[in-house]
Amino acid sequence: MVFLRVNRGKVKENNSSNKKRTTRKKEKQDIAKELEESLCDPFKVANPIKRLIKIKQFPWTERQKEFFRIALHPSTNVVFVDGPAGSAKTLLSVYCALQLLNMKAIEDIMYLRSAVESSAHSLGFLPGSAEDKLRFYNLPFLDKLDELLVNTRAEKLEEEKRISMFPVNFARGMNWTGKCIILDEAQNSTVKEITTVLTRLGRGSKCFVLADPMQTDLKSQHLSGGFESLSKTFNDEESLQMGVYSFSFTEDDIMRSELVKFLIKKLRDIE
């Protein structure tokens, strides 16, 4: 009888150990499943737009339609875009940003530029507050919104905090989640400035980095535009796997006018 009691005790002990091992194994499996689900969980914006924005359509070129396919794809994170004046780089980026708002893929649009004067001569003192002074740099963005918006005003989107405009140096220390960032005139941005913008990108954010290397306004011999070197750095298969693209427009994509198309082609010859 004693022998049987000992045996039963061992059986109970073994059963208890097996249950503990099974429980621990299940806990590990549950944790692994939760982790996998969290990594695969699609990003959802906290404050999506409630009313769709009506956007004007244009006779886009095939290359511009290809840009839409890349820019609006869920796996795309960053697009370096270069092209001549008039090839609609800013217009296309603002169009895609508005579409992303309508798709509830982002919460708002941020327009950034380096505070570099687009002229060979300084404008000197500009009247008004800091916001008034920076307004001059934001005119291309506001102009493109006016071109694209049908029943909505840019001022209304600004009031609703769906659009905002900053100089690049305001980006330091920020963390952008669920935003579309448009870094315009990036031929005037240094490697450090572009890097600062790109390293602010959090979950659910996209960035379009736009440049026309023909129109750099950097005057200092100690400064050089960072767009071309960064665009080349990220123009490889490894970058594509991470959703980073380099995209180019040509003179054939110029929408501004036939005159601008002619001028750009002639100016290319004297570079």
Question: pLDDT at residue 65 above 80?
Answer: yes
Span of 78-92, 161-175, 188-202 with lowest mean pLDDT: 161-175
Per-residue model confidence (pLDDT) at position 270 = 74
At residue 120, the pLDDT reads: 47
pLDDT confidence tier of residue 25, bands split at 50, 70 and 90: confident
Q: Is the pLDDT of residue 15 over 70?
A: no
CA-wise closest residue to 95 among 202, 255, 225, 240: 255
At position 260, the amino acid (one-letter code) is V
Task: Summarize the confidence of residues 125-136 as an average pLDDT.
Answer: 61
Q: What is the pLDDT of residue 201?
A: 96
pLDDT interval class at 11 (50, 70, 90): low
137 pLDDT more than 80: no
Q: What is the per-residue pLDDT for 260?
A: 87
Task: Name the E strands within the chain.
Answer: 78-82, 108-113, 163-167, 179-183, 206-211, 244-248
Q: What is the SS3 assignment for 259?
A: helix
Of 128-142, 158-172, 198-212, the range with the lowest mean pLDDT is 128-142
Per-residue model confidence (pLDDT) at position 222:
45
Q: CA distances (Å), 63 to each of 58, 195, 241, 249, in order? A: 13, 27, 22, 7
Instruction: Indicate if the pLDDT at residue 218 is higher than 80.
Output: no
Confidence at residue 123, expressed as pLDDT on a 0 to 100 scale: 47
pLDDT mean across residues, the chain: 83
Q: Is the pLDDT of residue 131 over 80?
A: no
Q: Is the pLDDT of residue 224 over 60?
A: no
- The residues that bridge with 210 in the sheet, in sequence order, are 81
Does the pLDDT value for residue 27 go beyond 80? Answer: no
| pLDDT given for residue 24 in this prediction | 73
**Residue 265 pLDDT class (50, 70, 90 cuts):** confident
CA neighbor of 58 nearest in space, from 262, 233, 246, 256: 256
CB burial class (10 A; 0-12, 13-18, 19+) of residue 255? Answer: middle
Q: Long-range contacts: 130-137, Cβ < 8 Å, 24+?
A: 134/165, 134/166, 134/167, 137/113, 137/165, 137/167
Do 85 and 57 meet the contact criterion of CB atoms below 8 Å apart?
no
Count the residues in the chain: 271
pTM above 0.85, yes or no: no
Confidence of residue 54 (pLDDT cuts 50, 70, 90): very high
